[in-house]
Structure 1
């Protein structure tokens, strides 16, 4: 299967300290991986592992220090803003903080279309209603304000917003943290169904190994910005080779038993 996304020696450093004693903090050591259409690649690790930095680089929210990102064989930086915005979208951890409380849901879902397409108002409204239906909500929800929705509905709105530009890849950074068990399961199953229907590829950032086991085809384990282990999810979970991976799995089992 050919790769949709190819990342080669991607790394990120942040300057720290004063300008006359400049030092650098390595948030992401050289990292390489491939992702095919319809697959899910998960990145796991504790806080400070570099997962969020990677998510921000992939979605264009942050620049990289070096390395190469190819999408459909083309360097990502060579694409204009509209193209990049359409191809890779993000589902945020807390949808309530990423929504404008003063705008109706329909207006917020329309925004990506206004800035990235040439659709007229009628076409945008039709696209909003189609995506609301796609994520299991009603067309009438377009006229709601964020505070009028339950947490699970807000998360579905976040998914709908990610779908508005018909992306090829969706990055989900701890997207289900804070949801109760039943709502969380519904949102996960929704993503899996969308992946099946639309051929989406997912980049999943999570500390929840149960979620990773359920959703991911491959997993990359990170610690302090470095890759310590990677491979097919079932193989890594069944026979972890690195001590850090073993500790993460043991802690997950301990939390489940409490």
Structure 2
């Protein structure tokens, strides 16, 4: 079947090598066409590989979801859930943002398991769209979506939702690719859907149903699903809050043998 746990608002112009919200006239003059990064809240979903801690292994597949706030003075605050191979970890974090050449914003996150460095490409309005992890040995890209202020409710997803998911499944001591597309109908936190999937090149179709339980005063939730064959799936979901309901949701699968992430778009 398919597989499946961050947000913003505008900022003052920033110059080369300066922290967000701090002025440096000479640096600004060196890159006059760079937009000011937009402060506020973002949802982030990323996937790739990072160096393995295990012997005789070169890298480990990984995926993450983040809810991140860009604050004045170049400060970051956020929460993350991350899959690293068959394990999972989550944390709250803080960090800093600094503008560099080429309208690239350099982020540094202080996490319990170490410092993570990323560089973000900004669009013409100063919004992040894509980023690349800059830690040595990592190859991880992420996509960003802005989130409106406030908490979420399950009814924000009501209606038709379509999705695309990619990931890996653990089998016979190794990882093989999977991909899934889905069509879902949501009503007040309950979902019924159809998934078209390919696991290691073997295709199947399955109907399923499930339930989303949101965390208190948050846009994070836990999603539990069961398909027509009786297989259960667990996910961490992050609703991407819009001005009118949810734009959809990011999800990260929590079942140890399936490392998948997806973006589900509300019609």
TM-score range, shorter chain: under 0.3
Question: Which of the two has greater strand per residue?
Answer: 2
Question: Which of the two has greater helix per residue?
Answer: 1
Q: TM-score normalised to the size of structure 1?
A: 0.24
Q: TM-score normalised to the size of structure 2?
A: 0.24
